Chains A and B, each alone.
Chain A
Amino acid sequence: MPPYDDWNKFDDEDDEELQDTLFFESKKDVILFCIDCSESMLSLYDDPNYEDVQTCHLYAALEAAMQIQKKKIIVGPNDSVGILLFNTTRKSEQGQSHASEIKRNTFVYQPITPLGAPKVQELIQLLDAAREDPNELTKTFPPLVGKRVPMGDVFTSCNWVLRDGAPKTASKRVFLITDEDDPHIGPGSKQLITSARTTLIDLTQAGVTVEPFFISTEDKPFHVSKFYSSVLLPSNLNDEDELQEDSSVLPESISISRIEDLLAQMRFHEVPKRAQYSVPLQLGEGFTIGVKGYGLVTEQKKGAYKYFVDLGDRMEVATVKTTYIDEDQEAEVDKAKIVYGPTLGATATNDDEDNQDADDGFGTRVVKDGNRPFYTAEEIRSFRTLGLEPGIKLLGFKDRSELAFEDNIKHSQFIYPDEMSYSGSKRTFSALLKSMIKKEKIGLALALTRRNASPTFCYLLPQEEKVDDSGWSEPAGFHIIPLPFADDIRSAPVEEGFRASEDLKDFARAWIDKLSVKNGTYPPDSYPNPALAYHNAQLQASAFREQYHPDSFEDLTAPKLEMIHKRAGKLLGEWKSAVNNDESANVTVATTGSKRKADVTVDEAEIRSKYDAGTLAKLRVDQLKEFLKAKGQAVSGKKAELMERVAEWFDAH
């Protein structure tokens, strides 16, 4: 019975991590791809990746949209996506597929609906057809020739499409993809700018964020100042951030990129930016600024499986309800009335004479009427928080070197100033950051980030703003690194060991030199989670009703063995023989157990010869075990199993 329930066994107050993810999952995300379909977007050029294949910007944009759909479907199975094309003469078939007729020369290719396999497959089929015949896209979506749809109409269409399809509470975003930096040339352009701006404001007020992705090429560079800087709003009004942003400042999320980088740019925006908490950061008595906390590093797990019910015509997810019951009475207890107390002990049978329910299986505690030796949920929470209110309180500064490698227990978080809760937060935060970077300091702080969390000590590690080649910038801010408490730190169980001589160290140094990456670091981007990818690939294949071929899977985290041996193989061999000839090889450790153990040392060669001769049975169980232990194998089971395992090991080596 227990394993059946395992996956939903969580205690709401107990598991903080779980709450984080729930918080993310509960909010739906909607993306409407709004792609320009003009002649320039459709003009063919040679594919840079494949020989003899022609492609176009629209193809790249649709492919990026498909990739994002594929990713979203895994990360947020309840999210919705739609695709709207503009500057095309294609019309919607009947006009009745949508509640509202959208503007001329805009076309809804995929209305906003929850993601599903057929939807992604539809797009994949279109892309495959376009691969076969480069003119397929031009045929499917004939471009508007000679003129352009006013951007105001595009925004209005977006608004209508979103209104029809997007759930009210979802976060809504429009990914605008175009290569035209000045869509309204000629007479009336001023009016069109105004209308574009007004309709964009409408869109924003409906809670929609527009995230532009502008395509820039050598022949046709993209200048924001020509048109968009006067149209785009200073900031995303619905993003809690920067509501106050000065209108003279450009929005933060304009991506101008080469078409090849479009997908990479979209990846940055794949997950809507959501703050996990917004709390005051107290630098001193009466000196407080506002900050928001973001989880930039969080383990992405496989989706939990769900339970489905066969309703005949379709499968429906079963909702799970957890109730608390008094077992003896089989009565459900109202959540608000539950009180909390200590365990009554392992053998809490009631040998108490006063207790009438002496045959109770599960514990009871009898008290006088009016007495309450239990706590309420509120009291329990105050024990965890020690009565503190959410906030981060600076305790002082320390040298950067005080942040030890081993002082880690959890992933970090990132804080960024929040001008909306305290005006002046940005300048103060910025000054603090600069000062700490200059002085090579880290901050020590006491942090309680959410009401039901518990206070932790953490270091504030300043991060300087940096922009790298790909256009991705390291944002300025502090990483909050939670420190382990004394309770979390375990002492080293090994205190003494043999050490290598200077010579041996030099042998090791030789191959380490060969295998070191100059100026390298740990590159998270190079290591996609293979287990997760493997799982998702199978999930996708199964959803598409395709056969999955495990051979096609490539694990990018596997060590590059070829490279290692090419560079350092010889040196490794030299080090190995040096270790084998080291005098330590002849030392046996005196075991200090109270019991005297039989001599179990048998050398590998001897066991191998017995294996070759098929006489492993001559060895004793403890000898077999010792050998297996030395090889890191399991030592459980009967002798026959042990022998089998030893044989397996030799087979493999």
Chain B
Amino acid sequence: MPAERAGYTVTMFLVDTSPSMGTLRTVDLPPGPDGESRTTKLTNLEWALQFVKLKVQEMIFNGRKTDQCGVVVFGSEETDNIVNEKNGGYENVMEYIPISQPNAGTLAKIDALQPSSVFGDPIDAVIVGIETQANYLSSKKTWTRKVIMVTDGENPIEVEDWEATVAKMDGLDVSLTIVGVDFDDEELPYTEPNKTIIKRANEEFYNTLTSTMKSGVLGSCAFALRETTRPEIKQTRSTLMGTVLRLGDVDTRGKEAIEIVVKTSKCTALTRPKSWKKFGVRPNNPTDKMNVDDETEENNEKNVVYSQLRMRTEYYVDPNADNEEDEEGDVKMKEEDEGLDEGKEDNEKSMAKDQNLQKVDREELIRGFKYGTTYVPCPEGQFPKLPTRKGIDICGFFGEKNFRRELSMGEIQYIWADPSSPQQQVAISSIVQAMCEKEVMAIARWVTKDGMDPKMGVLWPTRFDKVDCLLWSHMPFADDVRKYTFASLDHLVSKKGDAIKEHPYIPTKAQLTAMDEFVDAMDLMDAGEKDEAGSRLPWFDTLLSYNPAVHRTKQAIFHSAVVSDIETNPLPPPHPDLVKYFEPPKRVLKRARGPLEECKNAFKVKQVPKKIAKAKKEGHVHARDEDDMLLLDRKQPALDRTSSQSRITVTIASSSRAPVAASDSDTEDDDDAEFLLDKKITSALAPLTNEVTPLPTPARSVSPQVDLGREPGRIIGATYPLKDFEKNVAQGDLISKAVNDLGAVITEIVMRPFASRRTTELLDCMQALRKTSLEEDEIDAWNAFLTNLKGKCLSRPGNEAFWLGVKKSERGLGLISNKEARQQGGISTVSEGQAEEFFAI
């Protein structure tokens, strides 16, 4: 059977609206905003119609004129069908929607279907369906004919002579799909409990019917609905474009130059998500309102009209606020905006005035380019183009091992020899084979059409089972490559010009080993499915990786087309196939668990607190609040310009330079938290600039704004840890949190470069921390902190000097032993001996 042609299809939907279809059922909805499970009640008809609507929407989505459908209802109160008209009989079967290309109106009409009070016979409907279809297609014999029936199978069927119907359908090449509500399904798997005898018999009949037919399918509605979201790849047949592959001078030395007739076609082509149409709520105009008022008595439901929007482009120019011109502009605008209603015009005028812009008529515009501030007119929109000649010119060959894969710029193209010329095929084949043998690829220049801009690229020889061809990849011109300089990761040079061998940036041997093990553990080469021979294949195959954006968007488009409200009927989760490569395979994760832990311990990566996004304008002064601090309380370390990176952040924030791509550099941080933090700082600091003259440090010519260095969720900042801590302790709340946070902050500062400048301050902090811990029964927290700090200081990269400082203070900063604890009425798990020993090692 030849491949099915897209479009050129008439699909007949046969919908069962018998009374039994009105039975209510509970349908699961995707979890709500807080993860709670939700359900809704639908009639079987509404549920089954979702499938019909999704199918119809697919046709609307594809937008083919030759993809048409019609709807026949059985179990309708009325009888209206061509067979009945001709021969009588076939009662309660109605041609509900005549065959045509569907649109949003079709969906609305399907929505209006309600269960009726009479039965209709499915076989009657099938016959009406194929008759109507055959009638419509009488002059289009080659079209594909499909019939899709949705039913609950609860009503009697007149089964005699069904073989004749099958014969007729086979004769017309009709394919029949029966979608049954709660039919038993082995694949799901599903078996309906308490199935009625009549339904059981009907399911059996449908089974016989569909399996007797040449192309018949029987399935359950639940399965059919799930399958509509399966990512499906739209097969695009690439067109073959003719061109010439050249080597040498074909004009003057034709005897020694090559010219091969080739066809090109796309090998990869970027697919984008289908675009959305923009809609806006149409405001009710007065006449409409009147109508609505009239209707309210009979009909309490108001309707909202969403109308599709169109884009309009307008041109404005800034005449530099010259009064005369401004007036002129207003006049002009009035003329142009004549069609608009009053309010609108005013609105626009004030807007234009605000920004000092004048609307300009398109016809007054002149095309041209900017050469810096110089205007270069170019009414054509482009200068004369470089004269070029269509074809692919080979420039030379180079070894494929030297190919720089990362330079490949775009979509790949196949280059085939002319399929109708064996001689050309042999010519290409000889070149491909020779290139493969020598392991070289070619540099080539491609002009797609006479006069088109040339592209450079490479040709890669490829041998398929039965044909040889070349693949083209577009490569960059000199202009397309940016050469940024990056600091070396390995070669750090000191100011004296010596190489630095040990540095926090350079991984240690132990770290390298940990990483090696991690890389081995996370190997995917044996993590895929097993092949026929039983050996495992690599995990991940491009041919099974669907573009999540494309398919999710499509699912969402379909969903919004068939439901009436997104809030109450949200989009179901994506099909599992769409996200199957989003997580590494379980096997691998399990294997890597150990090495991952090793790595975490070895590398000790820490997230750095986010810097302030931007200094607020000075005019925007907030009132002081209790968080305010007096400048005099500030400690010297905070004023040290290079003491910590948070200080440098401040320098940036206070310069007027906007941070680069700040909005893009967001990490998982909670944006709200950051906003709050930001605000607080501004309010705390704004008064400084007003009341206090700049500080005496010479380098500080800009107004000081201080980042408290608080990480989100912390109450102790890195800038004034002791102050923050004392304030909290004084207030008496959140002692445990304050103790833990100060511990964390101290550890952090100690591990930073330049920590030595803050040694005294940190030791003060520790003193305070120990005192509070002892008094407030946070002894375990202190002991844990100290043990951790020791570990960190003595490991690499560490801060041995600081630890020596701690040690020097003798027992003043040591572990809190049970003896000492008891004096304060506390408990400690550390013995006196242990506490002594702690500093000894």
Contact = CB atoms under 8 A, between A and B. Distances in A.
B369 A539 contact: yes
Contacts of B254: 653
Contacts of B306: 339, 341, 364-367, 374
B376 A384 contact: no
Interface string A110-145: 000111111110000000000000000000000000
B314 A323 contact: yes
B371 to A, nearest CB: 4
A288 B668 CA distance: 11
A97 interface: no
B713 interface: no
B558 interface: yes
Interface string A344-374: 1111111110101100101111111111111
Given A373-B560, A564-B247, A422 B605 contact: yes
Contacts of A425: 605
A375 interface: yes
Given A352-B105, A534-B386, A398 B60 contact: no
B208 to A, nearest CB: 36
Interface stretch (A35-43, A45-53, A566-574, A610-618): A566-574
Interface string A438-480: 1101001010001100110100010101000000110111010
B1 to A, nearest CB: 15
B512 A487 contact: no
A98 interface: no
A516 B396 contact: yes
A120 B372 CA distance: 10
Interface string A551-591: 00101011111001100111011011001101011011101
Interface residues of A, number: 286
B645 interface: yes
A379 B567 CA distance: 11
B426 A299 contact: no
Given A248-B500, A372-B566, A421-B665, A530 B371 contact: no
Contacts of B281: 337, 339
Interface string B702-745: 10000000000000000000000000000000000000000000
Given A284-B592, A522-B403, A584 B422 contact: yes
A357 B282 CA distance: 11
A488 B564 contact: no
Interface stretch (A55-63, A101-109, A181-189, A387-395): A387-395
Which of A374, A420, A653 has the most CB atoms of chain B within a 10 A radius of its CB? A374
B786 to A, nearest CB: 22
A493 B484 contact: no
B310 A446 contact: no
Contact of A297 (B393, B394, B467, B476): B476
B655 A309 contact: no
Interface in B423-457: 423, 425-431, 433-435, 437-438, 440, 443, 445, 453-454, 456
Interface string B636-675: 0000001001001101100111111101111110000000
Contact of B438 (A329, A461, A516): A516
A207 B657 contact: yes
B383 A535 contact: yes
A511 to B, nearest CB: 8
Contacts of A540: 371
A244 B396 CA distance: 47
B371 A420 contact: no
Contact of B560 (A342, A421, A495): A342
A94 interface: no
A91 to B, nearest CB: 27
Contacts of A424: 504, 603-606
A337 B280 contact: yes
Contacts of A428: 507, 511, 515, 599, 603, 605
A117 to B, nearest CB: 4
Nearest to B357: A319
A650 interface: no
A378 interface: no
A515 interface: yes
A602 interface: no
Contact of A356 (B288, B315, B372, B407): B288
Contact of A504 (B430, B493, B500, B524): B430
A402 interface: yes
A428 B841 CA distance: 30
Given A409-B411, A589-B422, A527 B486 contact: no
Interface stretch (B132-140, B159-167, B358-366): B358-366
Interface string A191-206: 0000000100110011
A476 B490 contact: yes
Interface string B473-502: 101111111111111111111111100100
Interface in B408-424: 408-412, 414, 416-423
A509 B435 CA distance: 7
9 contacts: A77-B370, A299-B409, A375-B560, A379-B566, A389-B666, A430-B506, A461-B405, A475-B484, A527-B477
- Please name the 4 residue pairs, one residue from A and one from B, whose CB atoms are nearest each other, closest first: A345-B103, A454-B549, A115-B372, A500-B430
Given A408-B411, A454-B547, 12 more contacts: A117-B374, A310-B366, A375-B276, A395-B540, A463-B406, A487-B234, A492-B464, A516-B438, A520-B396, A529-B479, A584-B422, A652-B251
